[in-house]
Structure 1
Amino acid sequence: MTFRSPFAIPRLVTSATFGTRPLARSCVAHSRIQRSNLATVVPPVTQDATGSKGPTAMVFMNMGGPSTTGEVEDFLSRLFADGDLIPLGRFQPYLGPLIARRRTPKIQKQYADIGGGSPIRKWSEYQCAEMCKLLDKMSPETAPHKPYVAFRYAAPLTETMYNQLLEDGFGNGKGGRAVAFTQYPQYSCSTTGSSLNELWKWRNRLEGKRANGEEDPTGSIQWSVIDRWPTHPGLVEAFAQNIEAQLKTYPEEKRSQVILLFSAHSLPMDVVNRGDPYPAEVAATVHAVMQRLKFSNPYRLCWQSQVGPKAWLGAQTQDTVMEYVKRGQSDLILVPIAFTSDHIETLYELDLEVMEEANSPGVKRAESLNGNPVFIQGLADIAHEHLRKEEPCSAQMTLRCQRVPQRSLPGTEKVLRW
């Protein structure tokens, strides 16, 4: 979630260094990827606006990923320039571009291995548009709901999204409401926090600078935030159904003994120790899913993408899988519990690195959420409740991670601290 191993910082960087291990890939694994969700045709979207008092902009925020191999260097350059995600100190403006250039060829190869780019934009745009169709019927008083996607490091960038809002008639003296809807279900200061900081920056640049506590400029966009939703019933149900579907592929007599390995992106321990709520919220998601499954199977929470010499949250997914396989417990289902769609962490790291190294037919992965209608209905339910309550954010957003700058969107200064 926070740091992706293919973006590893070379050894020339001091204590923040990261690295990856090489991988030998087979044509069998490549064939498996060609049959993956990356090739799934996205159903067409038609907007069904039934509103009377709208519009309401619904903005999905995520890290993003390069849609083509040609976008990889720009993606890496933005990623390594983000001090919220990868703090490199005062040398960041110099080290960031250098690292991006050195990493680009390797990362381009990895994206080529999963079909030529990340599918995260395709799925994010589809999920947001389908959610808005449901919201138009569920909340006609705030319709039409207009779908937007704002990625932190890849197109469409936050700046692009904000300019599109202005072109579409929001702000610039016309007012209008917008909801920043994080697509990281579990909050981290380095992911959701970074995306919100970027949104705050572009709001100030494009709609006028303002000091905390100052009244909103007349006719500016009125923002609110859906900042976390780790145990929402729609999210839990979608994960549970995908796990149940994969369990059915095992012989009935073995089914209850299949180990469920929930895998989330790890965090460096110095991030965890500053009070970041992400580990606790990921654990809450896992527990909620297992409650829904009535604890039918043994399970573990493990963490993927650890890189470099620093201490990270563990145990690591790849090490955990190999340990179970060595013990003869080779019936395992990997569940990407912190991701809302397929991207490089699922299609490359889990499908190619982890599953190929395990080399066991019993090691499988649960389907990603992607176009799951249960999940999309859950998104609509979350947004509907948020609009109904008319709250700027969750109560939990009043707490900030220690040693993280405080910034806030207009109208939320007294409560938002990310």
Structure 2
Amino acid sequence: MTAFLRQLAQSRRDGKPLGITSVCSAHPLVIRAAARNAAHYSDILLIEATCNQVNQFGGYTGMLPADFVQLVRRIAAEENLPTDKIILGGDHLGPNPWRSEPAASAMAKAEDMVMAYVDAGFRKIHLDASMGCAGEPAALDDATTAERALRLAQAAEHAARKAGGEMPVYIIGTEVPPPGGAHHVITELEPTNVAAAQQTIDIHRDMFRRAGMEDTFSRVIGLVVQPGVEFGNENVVIYDPSKARGLTQLLDREQSLIYEAHSTDYQGRAALRHLVEDGFPILKVGPELTFVLREALYGLDLIASDLIEGYPPRALFKTMEKLMLDNPVFWQGHYHGWPQEQHVQRHYSYSDRIRYYWNQPEAAAAVQTLINVLQGRTAPPTVFRQHLPGFEGWFGKPLDPTALVVAAVQRSLDNYRAACTGG
């Protein structure tokens, strides 16, 4: 499964750079859109779960690693995507969920988590032990980070040998945008310093060598750096190839490696293609996919409000607003300003922190009600134009709300596929 990932560096050296989209979402409709696209194009599907989202205690989704694998494989089978076309990745695997605890207990839990991921079938592992635990600095030095990454790799290797099958490939490095985007408007962003990137590689390589794990390090395929891309609540910083030229040139010396680009959401097709060509062929995307999903659902909510007698006006919108107000833990501290500004951000922010609420029973019930009332109905083109103007191909046809929402996500993924293939 991971052979394609190991060929990305070579494809760039051959002058034919290819990329792959890393879908970072646990939403079933996003997974379905990704699987449907992969099946349609006979592509490989790379789909990743994060340490906070999925872990041995359930994470915020309530899923164990094995549960996530089962979900992905079930949906893939329904979309006729073979299992051997799926690569499962674990993102930011390390002590982050338990960083308020002492390092000893946080790292023990992180090792257990990595083993649970590998045992469940994940074979692309991002080793991220950069964050300090209780009593430590917020960000650790390279040597401590590498030593802890080595421990996590040892746990992964042990689990993989026990489980059988192919051994994992690894991503190292941690200089990434804040998970889910920044909390403020960003006007300028500097890529990772080249010397710092080289030092990260050197220290990890030496740490693995001294532990007798050269074979493991040979399966380190990439490094996470900041290429100069980011999104906040209201703006997006677009990739500037000229600023990342030094990082690109570093790959000419480190020819077995590529970069993994985080927070590529909302970049658009041209910027994404530049990233692939410049040595960032793993393009991670998450919030954009649930953002367009929410756009489609809210458009359908408005159509139902206008057309269906007895459907409470903006029922889905109001349900989501109540959920977020009743349990603000996922957005407080991320959205700022006056109450009305926060109200807008809760629903329409690029950071899309509403995505944390879709798995709540009330949200799932409201979405299902919306689907049920619109299923098979034909909305007048004028109403469609008002609320979902980008879906002209659906005008005048009986509605399949689920298919429409999946198609909305597929359109974003099409931009990524074009960037990855050069099409």
TM-score with structure 1 setting the length: 0.31
Greater fraction of residues in helix: 2
Q: Which has the higher contact order (CA 8 A, sep 6+)?
A: 1
TM-score with structure 2 setting the length: 0.31
